[in-house]
Structure 1
Amino acid sequence: MTFDDLRVFVAVCQTGNLSAVARELACTQPAVSQHVKRLEQATGVRLLERGPDGVTPTLEGRVLYAAARDGILGVDSALRQLSEMSRGQTGSVRVTTGATTIRNFMSDAVVKFRQRHPCATLEFHTMISSRRCFESLTEGAVDLAWVTIGDTNPGIEQRPVMDLPWVLAVRDDDPLAHRASIAPTDLTEIRHIRLPDNAVSRIHLDIALNRLGIQLAPETGVADWNTAVLLAELGVGHAIVPALPYSSAAPDRPLRFHPLPFLPPLTVGWAVRGWETLSPLARSFANLVEQQCQSR
């Protein structure tokens, strides 16, 4: 019993005529009869009755017809969806990101993706760390993860997209605000607003500072870069964060961002289970994000 046997049998039940099905399938009537015979041999029952006006399904044939018809309709629908997905017309892309990712790296890409694939959906899962993003990938909960590129993870491929230099966010009335530049020793004076211990960007920063012999005492802790910048604006402390357009929405904010060129940049990009197995839609969105980052 094959899928083709079932498809031919359904066509015969619907038309009631072996010759008509043969013409539709561009084959011979004996070939159509052979499909039916294989089904009868596999099921052990007679499926069709022949009459002067054609063929009709037996009681057993009607049972198989109902099941096969519904199954074929479902398979045909699934095949159409798969075809549409392969052409990027519909489907979904599941992305896991940090809290600041969409605004800073993906806003233009989201708009272009919606324009190119109006029937597709984007699902965003916010995670507080790259490690949780890796876990979501491993569990199969998402297709793409935007992460801080770091140590290799078994079964995960990483693709660097851009390097982010570090800056020091200070309030305008802070003594450090109007210095021409910031030296490594100046960081010993700051009230450090720290990211969580499990954040990969925090680990990268700590390693870079340790190599310079700098130990910072934390004043407070936050969950993401935007919050760190906000607290720096409120005068709570100083934030060492990647250079992003934190003040683009409000250029009059009382903040200064000093470059810290002595710190190695933070590399961010994509992580996936496998680029070869990624859906066309997911690849499309990943490419659009990369184009947005390259145009910055």
Structure 2
Amino acid sequence: MTLDDLRVFAAVCRSGSLSGAARDLGCTQSAVSQHVKRLERELGLSLLERHPRGVAPTSAGRLLHTAVTEGLGRIDQTVRRIEELARAEGGSVRVTTGATTVRHFMAAAVVDFRRRFPRASLEFQTETSSRGCFDALTTGAVDLAWITLRPAGGGVEQRPVVHLPWSLAVAAGDPLAAKSFIEPVDLQDARLIGLPENSTARIQLGSRLAESGIRPIFDTSVTDWDSAILLAELGLGHAVVPTLPEWTGPGHPDLRLIPIPALPALTAGWAVRRWDALSPLARAFADTVAHHCARRAGK
């Protein structure tokens, strides 16, 4: 049993197929299969169940996958820190988040962090969902994930940073634009622009509207809030969105963001495997982002 065997097995579990793991790893499907077979011979148990559309871990495979993702992640993190010490460099911070997060929550913090740590490097990996961010964390691919927070679990620790009230984004000429605030009942039978169904924010929004007996129809799907707001500004629909400061003010005369006070705010922030195992540099970046978010909220 080798580390390569374990890495390949984790890739198979992550992708759900031997061919998908081969693509991710840049090798042949036969090579992936040989790694898995070697593990199964070593352990004396089947680790994968073959299905028409891929594979899934058996009960033994799930146990191994959990141990592998946590163990390899910690090994990779430690090796990186040792290499940085050996090179006497400033080190790096790897962050995964959505496509527009840097613009809305991190721009000032990145400038501040670069000034304080000029030799450090920042690596941003874009994901389209919180699940993708969680996967990157558990495999050790990143140090920090900026996500929409969800109930605790999944082997990660979460820390709230910002609370974002919900608003309805509409074009200035829309009949709802004259309202000073929106009630959930105003959204009954509304056809909305929204994030994909499996996104944490979309699930939370649907649940909160359902508590008021409202089940709107999401007939347009986008990958980020900025796209949803832009389409609403162009008069192509309505979007229930977090209130993002960059979209308010005189720069968007054709857009209205109308508060929905009855909906609990959306909470975003950091997720990590373990705060006490985070490198000092990564912790400094997380704290810098939180500081600038708090300062902007206090204005």
- Worse-superposed segment, 238-247 or 228-237: 238-247
Question: Quick one: which amino acid aligns to residue 151 of structure 1?
Answer: P
Aligned to 1:145: 145
- Offset of residue 154 of structure 1: 3.1
Question: Quick one: which amino acid aligns to residue 123 of structure 2?
Answer: E
Q: 1:290 & 1:275 partners in 2: Cα distance?
A: 15
Question: Quick one: which amino acid aligns to residue 151 of structure 2?
Answer: D
Q: 2:87 & 2:110 partners in 1: Cα distance?
A: 20
Aligned to 1:122: 122
Q: Please state if 1:190 is matched with 2:206.
A: no
Aligned to 2:235: 235
Q: Please state if 1:82 is matched with 2:74.
A: no
Question: Quick one: which amino acid aligns to residue 85 of structure 2?
Answer: L
Tell me the secondary structure at the aligned position of residue 176 of structure 1. helix
- Offset of residue 244 of structure 1: 0.6
Q: 2:262 & 2:224 partners in 1: Cα distance?
A: 22
- Offset of residue 188 of structure 1: 1.9
Aligned to 1:98: 98
Q: Give CA-to-partner distance per residue, 1:171-191, whole Å, 9 cap, x none.
A: 000000012322221112633
Which ranges of 4 or more aligned residues in structure 1 deviate by more than 6 Å?
none
Q: 1:80 & 1:153 partners in 2: Cα distance?
A: 31
Q: 2:162 & 2:269 partners in 1: Cα distance?
A: 7
Q: Normalising by structure 2, report the TM-score.
A: 0.69
Aligned to 1:59: none
How many residues are treated as equivalent by the alignment? 216
Question: Do the aligned partners of 1:191 and 1:217 also contact (CA within 8 Å) in 2?
Answer: yes
- Offset of residue 276 of structure 1: 0.8
Aligned to 2:167: 167
Q: 1:178 & 1:260 partners in 2: Cα distance?
A: 14
Question: Quick one: which amino acid aligns to residue 105 of structure 2?
Answer: F
Q: 1:79 & 1:177 partners in 2: Cα distance?
A: 57
Question: Do the aligned partners of 2:137 and 2:144 also contact (CA within 8 Å) in 1?
Answer: yes
- Offset of residue 247 of structure 1: 2.2
Q: Give CA-to-partner distance per residue, 1:75-111, whole Å, 9 cap, x none.
A: xxx97942887xxx60110000011210111001100
Aligned to 1:17: none
Question: Do the aligned partners of 1:247 and 1:253 also contact (CA within 8 Å) in 2?
Answer: no
Q: 1:148 & 1:195 partners in 2: Cα distance?
A: 12
Stretches of structure 1 that go unaligned for 5 or more consecutive residues are: 1-77
Question: Do the aligned partners of 2:209 and 2:215 also contact (CA within 8 Å) in 1?
Answer: yes
Q: Normalising by structure 1, report the TM-score.
A: 0.69
Tell me the secondary structure at the aligned position of residue 176 of structure 2. coil
Question: Do the aligned partners of 1:157 and 1:271 also contact (CA within 8 Å) in 2?
Answer: yes
Q: 2:155 & 2:180 partners in 1: Cα distance?
A: 46
Q: Give CA-to-partner distance per residue, 1:54-78, whole Å, 9 cap, x none.
A: xxxxxxxxxxxxxxxxxxxxxxxx9
Question: Quick one: which amino acid aligns to residue 129 of structure 1?
Answer: S
Aligned to 1:60: none
Q: 2:246 & 2:216 partners in 1: Cα distance?
A: 23
Higher Cα radius of gyration: 1
Q: Give CA-to-partner distance per residue, 1:259-293, whole Å, 9 cap, x none.
A: 11100111111000111111111011000000011
Tell me the secondary structure at the aligned position of residue 182 of structure 1. coil
Calculate percent identity across the aligned residue pairs.
54
Q: Give CA-to-partner distance per residue, 1:105-161, whole Å, 9 cap, x none.
A: 100110011101111100000100111100000010000000111022332111111
Question: Closer, same or farther in 2 for the Cα pair 1:217/1:187, shift >3 Å?
Answer: same
Question: Do the aligned partners of 2:97 and 2:146 also contact (CA within 8 Å) in 1?
Answer: yes
Aligned to 1:245: 245
Aligned to 1:73: none
